[in-house]
Structure 1
């Protein structure tokens, strides 16, 4: 998906012309960049409703797939969507699928994409560790005790 981008100041200073140009371009999501805070995304309400409907449908399809008896198909679908799953064990991949479906359902019911996004990010980081044998070795080596309190970072 292509997202056009404008600085927040264009919305403030040239709001009408900026929004007219955005609408003429097809009204795809517009990233509004900000220097002092997190960027915003502007989209039409119809587009937001469509994206929510697609997410709900995809969640239901993944849930139905998960409840099928064809575990090989499930693994194939998950590995196609998330190639990094190949670095996880079969048990971990199954745990990922279970957590992903649960977080998709929860996020959909709350109209909040954070739960599934967090699940994907967490498992992707786990796969990144396994993908680097040296890092996996370092992180799996037992520590030699408590090293005490961690000092607060200097600002």
Structure 2
């Protein structure tokens, strides 16, 4: 939204009937609370926000299982939970394990689920690309003024 004024994060239940467009607009930007006189306060958010929170909780459960296991190294335990990591080099698996844990800590402490989910997805996509045979072969760059022959 391109307004200069921040949208409110809290509304009264009567705002839903009086100015529902404003409530819905705010809920598309960030989760909002709707207070009720006769019941518990509700939270309204987009489906994608809810999905991101659920993905982060799933990741948290997996990381707790990894952290509490005592068999093997951290990288070995993570590779068992995320078998796609075996497509990475041994150093890549170590880097992945550390990066995912750091991103998860940042997500938990800042309440920004996308940080950990994006990091995990990025590593998984890298592993998928490597498994498909895509490698970082050296690239031969052409000069800007050099003509390119037709194949």
TM-score by length of 2: 0.49
TM-score of the two chains, using structure 1 as the length reference: 0.48
